[in-house]
């Protein structure tokens, strides 16, 4: 089942293209890795799919429906930047999601908050960057939606917590949804990815199943990453 279709999608800031003529057709049941160095266009692409950026050209279809307000119900996007209101507590963040997303599971949220060793009474503005990252993961993975987009989910996270986050992602992935994960930490993410999308200067330069790519290029995704972006 095709969940996300992107056709000739472009976005420019001034005269510079952040994303250029990107075409994607992502099917359910897979974990996709969106990889590339800083400024390659990963976040811009995700933000357009999430409806936070307006594309200059091209189209986005989610569940065979043109991107609109209603299609946001099928998308769970976690930005790399902290984006929860400072006045909120962890409990209020959960209440907010429960109020606006029909697919939000409060029991799952409580479980994930405990799993991440956070406390419901903690205030967002008192959280460390690692705690804030864990909260973003917990809030997004507590939804039962079709398309999850996690932008740099391991940023600012210590080694122990990284394992917890990776296991939470695996646990959440199923035959009905898509996980799209962007990360610089290719070595850690490689083992859970089904397919990978290499993006360079706004262009998709390589796309395919991880296994096939490894066989074809006779090297790991992490090594290929170093090769592709050596001069980026």
Residue of 185, 175, 125 whose CA lies nearest to 153: 185
* Sign of CA pseudo-dihedral 87, 93, 97, 99: negative
φ and ψ at 26, to 5 degrees?
A: -105, 130
DSSP 56: S
Contacting residue, 82, 108, 192, 194, with other proteins by CB under 8 A: 82
Q: Check residue 79 for interaction with other proteins (CB under 8 A).
A: yes
Give every CB contact of residue 38 below 8 A, 6+ residues apart in sequence: 184
Q: Check residue 120 for interaction with other proteins (CB under 8 A).
A: no
Indicate the helix (H) or strand (E) that contains 129. helix 129-141
Contacting residue, 100, 129, 158, 163, with other proteins by CB under 8 A: 100
Contacting residue, 86, 114, 126, 167, with other proteins by CB under 8 A: 86
Contacting residue, 38, 87, 121, 128, with other proteins by CB under 8 A: 87
User: Which residues between 24 and 63 bind other proteins (CB under 8 A)?
Assistant: 47, 50-54
Place of tokens 């029991």: 107
Q: Give whichever of 13 and 176 is closer to other proteins, judged by the CB atom.
A: 13
Q: Check residue 155 for interaction with other proteins (CB under 8 A).
A: no
Query: SS3 of 18, please?
Result: strand
Dist. CA 161–CA 185, nearest whole Å? 14
Q: Give the range of 1-9, 17-25, 80-88, 184-192 binding other proteins by CB under 8 A.
A: 80-88
Contacting residue, 8, 85, 226, 227, with other proteins by CB under 8 A: 85
5 close to 61: Cβ distance less than 8 angstroms: yes
Q: Give whichever of 83 and 187 is closer to other proteins, judged by the CB atom.
A: 83
| Residues at the site binding other proteins, with contacts judged by CB under 8 A | 12-14, 47, 50-54, 68-70, 72-73, 75, 77, 79, 81-88, 92, 96, 99-101
């Amino acid at each position: 089942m095709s969940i996300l279709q992107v056709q000739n999608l472009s976005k420019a800031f001034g005269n510079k293209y952040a994303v250029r003529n990107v075409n994607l057709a992502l099917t359910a049941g897979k974990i996709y890795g969106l990889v590339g160095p800083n400024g390659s266009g990963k976040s811009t692409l995700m933000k357009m799919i999430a409806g936070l950026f307006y594309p200059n050209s091209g189209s986005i279809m989610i569940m065979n429906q043109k991107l609109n307000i209603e299609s946001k119900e099928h998308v769970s996007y976690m930005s790399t930047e902290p984006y929860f209101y400072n006045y909120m507590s962890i409990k209020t963040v959960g209440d907010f999601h429960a109020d606006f997303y029909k697919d939000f599971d409060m029991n799952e949220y409580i479980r994930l908050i405990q799993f991440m060793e956070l406390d419901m009474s903690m205030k967002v503005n008192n959280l460390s960057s690692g705690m804030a990252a864990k909260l973003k993961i917990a809030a997004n993975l507590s939804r039962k939606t079709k398309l999850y987009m996690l932008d740099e989910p391991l940023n600012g996270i210590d080694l122990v917590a990284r394992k917890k986050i990776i296991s939470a992602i695996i646990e959440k992935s199923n035959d009905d949804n898509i996980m799209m994960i962007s990360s610089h930490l290719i070595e850690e993410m490689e083992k859970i990815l089904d397919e990978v999308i290499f993006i360079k200067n706004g262009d998709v330069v390589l796309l395919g199943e991880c296994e096939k790519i490894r066989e074809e290029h006779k090297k790991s995704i992490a090594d290929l990453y170093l090769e592709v972006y050596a001069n980026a």
